[in-house]
C-alpha cells in the first residue's frame, strides 16, 4: 500500500466551472477526512466520513461543496460554480478509525480558479 492517493495533483479551472477531486485512502481505513489549505495557513477541516456515512461537516463547507464516499472506500469532493476564493490545496487524510490512531495525509490537489 502506497498511502493516501489523491487525483488530480493539480487542477486549473475557469470561474463558474464545476470540479471533482478523488481520494483513495489507505486500504481498510474506515475514516476519511477532507481539509482545505490556503497559502501560509494550516489545513482547515472540511468534513469526514466513517465508512460511507458523512458524520460531520464544517461551516466552511458551503452548499457549493459536496463530498461522497459511496462504498466506504474512495471519496470524491465536488465544487460547483467555482469562485476565485476556492483556490487552495485540498487535502485528504485517512485513519483506521479506532481510538489512539493517527491520520495519514495524501499529497493534496492544488486547485487554481482563474
Partner 1 sequence: GENVEQHPSTLSVQEGDSAVIKCTYSDSASNYFPWYKQELGKGPQLIIDIRSNVGEKKDQRIAVTLNKTAKHFSLHITETQPEDSAVYFCAASRNTNAGKSTFGDGTTLTVKP
Q: State which of positions 44-63 bind partner 1 (CB under 8 A).
A: 44-45, 48, 56
106 binding partner 1? (CB under 8 A): yes
40 binding partner 1? (CB under 8 A): yes
Q: Cell numbers 471519496 correspond to what residue?
A: 75
Q: Measure the N-to-C terminal CA separation of the chain; round to a whole number of Å.
A: 35
C-alpha cell at 42: 494550516
43 binding partner 1? (CB under 8 A): yes
Give the separation between CA 79 and CA 65, rounded to whole angstroms.
5
State the number of binding residues for partner 1 (CB under 8 A): 27
Characterise 70 by phi-psi region: left (phi > 0), alpha (psi -120 to 50), beta (else).
alpha
Q: How far is the CB of 81 from partner 1 (least distance, A)?
A: 27
Pairing of strands 75-79, 19-24: antiparallel
Stretch that binds partner 1, among 12-20, 35-43, 60-68, 75-83 (CB under 8 A): 35-43
Stretch that binds partner 1, among 11-19, 41-49, 65-73, 75-83 (CB under 8 A): 41-49
The helix/strand count (H/E) of the chain reads as 0, 11
103 binding partner 1? (CB under 8 A): yes
Give the separation between CA 52 and CA 68, rounded to whole angstroms.
8
Which residues form the interface with partner 1 (CB under 8 A)? 4, 6, 31, 33, 40-45, 48, 56, 91, 93-95, 99-108, 110
Amino acid at each position: 500500500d502506497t498511502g493516501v492517493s489523491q487525483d488530480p495533483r493539480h487542477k486549473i479551472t475557469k470561474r463558474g466551472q464545476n470540479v471533482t477531486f478523488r481520494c483513495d485512502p489507505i486500504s481498510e481505513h474506515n475514516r476519511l477526512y477532507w481539509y482545505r489549505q490556503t497559502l501560509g495557513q494550516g489545513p482547515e477541516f472540511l468534513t469526514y466520513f466513517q465508512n460511507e456515512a458523512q458524520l460531520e461537516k464544517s461551516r466552511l463547507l458551503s452548499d457549493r461543496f459536496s463530498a461522497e464516499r459511496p462504498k466506504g472506500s474512495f471519496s470524491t469532493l465536488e465544487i460547483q460554480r467555482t469562485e476565485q476564493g476556492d483556490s487552495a490545496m485540498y487535502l485528504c487524510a485517512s485513519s483506521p478509525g479506532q481510538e489512539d490512531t493517527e491520520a495519514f495525509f495524501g499529497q493534496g490537489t492544488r486547485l487554481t480558479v482563474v
